[in-house]
């Protein structure tokens, strides 16, 4: 059920988010009743609640999220589970936050990356290109930098590279140029104003063929603002190190850049050897930390996509730790 709560702006709204690949992810974690698990992107606690239901009184679930609205909603939803501990933080600080609780090894970790339905549907958060709201896009509103500052202060070449690399947008050069030209007249403050600039930058014939013209650019700005790829790429190795023998990490991604990072880091932890291929034996001393469970990512079923269109681009990858220490 949707969870009504007061947002930080004091407006009563519903934190409504449908968890993607829910059963596939929980099955992939192989939850042990007495185990310790971490949901690093707690959101509305859909995955976390399923984990809690599988835990005994000795089990433990630590939920982490940087979004205060998610913390409020998840706290209400998990109020009946004594196993649950909720922390407001970024998952890149997982090791430090767990250490404060005296936890140094866990049996499973879950990351459900990207933007929640709640964030997209709440126009005041500025994530969506389908509604008009402030150019915000902060996943943690304690940070000062907003999407508006990126759009209005970054040099044209910076904007071009962000939109090209993070949005994989073929018209990145034109969009960046038009943003700079538009903000010379007046700052761009709303999603609607940015939408109009992007729309003018893409030929009408191309706009008619694909999805919303702003999708890739909004994705790029959001990734840059929240440092999503840097956080992911710098965190996964450490998470794998925290897993107990047989512990698993499950990561759900929603675009190719995230998925590539997860795939490559999982592979390098399975096969870390850097010796030249013609060496008869390994001399680098790097040992495998486990195995990739999903040789190909797990995708949502046609039924799930029909019920939740936002799940269409989701991919689940799983890694299992094998400790030798």
- pLDDT for 12: 35
Per-residue pLDDT at 286 exceeds 70: yes
CATH number of 141-226: 1.10.150.170
pLDDT in tens, 207-227: 888 789 999 999 999 999 999
Could you give the CA distance from residue 233 to residue 46 in angstroms, rounded to a whole number? 25
- pLDDT for 308: 92
Could you give the CA distance from residue 302 to residue 312 in angstroms, rounded to a whole number? 9
Could you give the CA distance from residue 19 to residue 57 in angstroms, rounded to a whole number? 25
Provide the whole-model pTM: 0.92
- pLDDT for 263: 98
Using an 8 Å Cβ cutoff, are 64 and 41 in contact?
Answer: yes
Greatest CA separation found in the chain?
Answer: 66
Lowest mean pLDDT among 17-21, 105-109, 284-288: 17-21
Chain region(s) in the chain for CATH 3.40.50.150: 3-118+228-321
User: Residues 176-182: what's their mean pLDDT?
Assistant: 98
Chain region(s) in the chain for CATH 1.10.150.170: 141-226
Structural fold of domain 3-118+228-321:
Rossmann fold (3.40.50)
């Amino acid at each position: 059920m949707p969870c009504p709560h007061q947002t930080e702006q004091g407006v009563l709204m519903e934190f409504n988010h449908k968890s993607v690949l829910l059963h596939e992810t929980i099955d992939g974690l192989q939850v042990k009743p007495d185990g310790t698990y971490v949901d690093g992107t707690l959101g509305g606690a859909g995955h976390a609640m399923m984990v809690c239901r599988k835990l005994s009184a000795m089990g433990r679930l630590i939920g982490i999220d940087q979004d205060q609205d998610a913390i409020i909603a998840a706290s209400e939803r998990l109020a009946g589970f004594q196993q649950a501990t909720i922390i407001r933080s970024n998952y890149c600080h997982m090791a430090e936050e767990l250490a404060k609780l005296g936890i140094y090894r866990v049996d499973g970790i879950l990351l459900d990356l990207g933007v929640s339905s709640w964030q997209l549907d709440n126009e005041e958060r500025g994530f969506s290109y389908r509604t008009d709201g402030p150019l915000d896009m902060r996943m943690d509103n304690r940070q000062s930098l907003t999407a508006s500052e990126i759009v209005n202060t970054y040099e044209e070449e910076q904007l071009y590279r962000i939109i090209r690399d993070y949005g994989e947008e073929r018209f990145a050069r034109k969009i960046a140029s038009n943003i700079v030209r538009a903000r010379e007249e007046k700052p761009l403050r709303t999603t609607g104003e940015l939408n109009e600039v992007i729309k003018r930058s893409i030929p009408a014939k191309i706009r008619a063929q694909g999805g919303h013209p702003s999708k890739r650019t909004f994705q790029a700005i959001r990734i840059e603002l929240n440092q999503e790829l840097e956080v992911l790429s710098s965190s996964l190795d450490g998470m794998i190190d925290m897993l107990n023998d047989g512990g698993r990490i499950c990561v759900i991604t929603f675009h190719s850049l995230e998925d590539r990072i997860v795939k490559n880091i999982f592979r390098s932890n399975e096969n870390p050897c850097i010796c030249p291929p013609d060496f008869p034996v390994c001399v680098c001393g790097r040992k495998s930390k486990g195995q990739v469970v999903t040789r190909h990512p797990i995708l949502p079923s046609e039924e799930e996509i029909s019920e939740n269109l936002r799940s269409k681009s989701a991919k689940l990858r799983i890694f299992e730790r094998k400790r030798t220490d």
